[in-house]
Chain A
Amino acid sequence: MPAQLSFTENQAHLTLSGRFTYDEHEAFHNALTEMQRHEPRSVTVHLSGVEFMDSAGLGMLLLLRDRMPQTTGISLSNTQESVRKILQLTKLDSIFTLC
């Protein structure tokens, strides 16, 4: 599952799909490095295609939050039910905006 990254004005769009696990760390790391370089005002992670997210995936989302400036708003969009459930259970819905 390649992480697809695109930029529109000051926004970064990261689209993930399939299983977001440790196996995706390389693609995610590259995207993160790229986003750090561009310094967008906001980041939207599109998760409609993600059917499963493990603890490594959650760790990577937390790293995204840590490595981007606090002023950069990060939202997770179109989460599937199973993913939304684990985000709520871990209270990550209080760190990211779910939309």
Chain B
Amino acid sequence: MENALKEFPDPIIALPVLPDTALESAATREALLLEIATLQKVLPQISDVVDAKAKALTEECSVLASIASHQAHLFRESAERVERIPYRDHTIPLDQFNTLFKDTFAHSIQQILMTSKLAMEMVFSLREATNQLYVLESFVTEIQSINKQTNLLALNATIEAMRAGEEGKGFTIVAEEVKGVSGVINQLSRSMHSKIGEISHSIREAFATLSKVATTDMTDNLLAQEKLEMMLNGLLTQSKQMNQTLSQQVERAESLSETLDEMKMEMDIQKPINSQIQQACMSLHQMQILLDASFNSSVHPLLPGDC
């Protein structure tokens, strides 16, 4: 704009010193006066056009500055938004989400490990219980074996007591008692054997159920952490890059807005073009008077108000 204004001459111009020979020519004088008159007509028109254009340009600068400022605002908002994610009724920074995610996953992994350990602990405990049950079962079998012998001894004692006749009657009673006790022991050992069988069956069922739990491989769940962390890190990197790009756009839009504001201010403070042109018209008018005075022209001089 400054350069454009400099294209116009300074309004207070020194009149050129024309050689007498040139001014003696009436034709030259007439031509000069005609040129001055033409300039006096054209210059105000140019002034109006330039002023109108300058005004329009100022308004456009103002609109553009406003748009650039709004864009900067939008870019800033977007830059802030890409670094946060919605969570319930508010948003949290992505960094915080990353930490939360990793902590949660680490906790889940520890729970998976703990579950696996407990499942295997139960498997081992059931195996140990089963082994103890086998020992118990062998004891019962031994008791039954001893009981059979006791029963046989009682039977033999009864036979021998009967052989002894009257003197063996006491032995018969003792043998009968022993037989009775042996019967009770036999009954008890049968019950124990039966119960051991039931417990063994329950353990086998529990073992089968537990096997299903223990054989459920959680390795994929454990490995999922690595995949998800990689994806999350990619997301964070992308978000940071986007934030950087948007921040650069904010800077550019703000710079553009400032430049446009400065241009507008510069155009506002410029001396209006038409006043400079008016001064140029006055200079032309003075030239016209001087020309008329020098050569006593009959041409009616134009007044400054005509410009």
Contact = CB atoms under 8 A, between A and B. Distances in A.
Interface in B103-119: 106, 109, 112-113, 115-119
Interface string A37-71: 00000000000000001111011101100100000
A55 B124 contact: no
Given A59-B120, A63-B124, A89 B109 contact: yes
B226 interface: yes
B226 A59 contact: no
Given A22-B211, A26-B127, A90-B222, A58 B121 contact: no
B223 A59 contact: no
Nearest to B131: A33
A56 B124 CA distance: 12
B214 interface: yes
Contacts of A32: 124
Given A22-B211, A22-B215, A25-B214, A59 B113 contact: yes
Contacts of A79: none
A55 B112 contact: yes
Contacts of B215: 21-22, 56
A44 to B, nearest CB: 21
Q: Is the interface of B mostly helix, strand, loop or mixed?
A: helix
A21 B217 contact: yes
Given A55-B113, A58-B117, A59-B121, 6 more contacts: A29-B124, A55-B216, A59-B113, A59-B116, A59-B214, A66-B121
Contacts of A76: none
Contacts of A55: 112-113, 116, 216-219, 222
Contact of B214 (A56, A66, A86, A92): A56
B219 A86 contact: yes
B1 to A, nearest CB: 67
B263 interface: no
Interface string B22-48: 000000000000000000000000000
Contacts of B225: 89
Interface string A3-17: 000000000000000
Given A25-B214, A55-B218, A62 B124 contact: no
B223 A89 contact: yes
Contact of B120 (A25, A86, A89, A92): A25
A92 B218 CA distance: 15
Contacts of A89: 109, 222-223, 225-226
A56 B112 CA distance: 10
Contacts of A91: 106, 109
Contacts of A21: 215, 217
Contacts of A62: 113, 116-117, 120
Nearest to B118: A59
Given A21-B217, A22-B214, A56 B120 contact: yes
Given A55-B218, A60-B120, A86 B113 contact: no
Contacts of A63: 117, 120-121, 124
B222 A56 contact: no
B118 to A, nearest CB: 8
Contacts of B127: 26, 29
30 contacts: A22-B120, A22-B211, A25-B120, A25-B124, A29-B124, A29-B127, A32-B124, A55-B112, A55-B116, A55-B216, A55-B217, A55-B218, A55-B219, A55-B222, A56-B119, A56-B120, A56-B215, A58-B116, A58-B117, A59-B115, A59-B116, A59-B117, A59-B120, A62-B116, A63-B117, A86-B223, A89-B109, A89-B225, A90-B222, A92-B113
Given A55-B217, A56-B214, A86 B119 contact: no
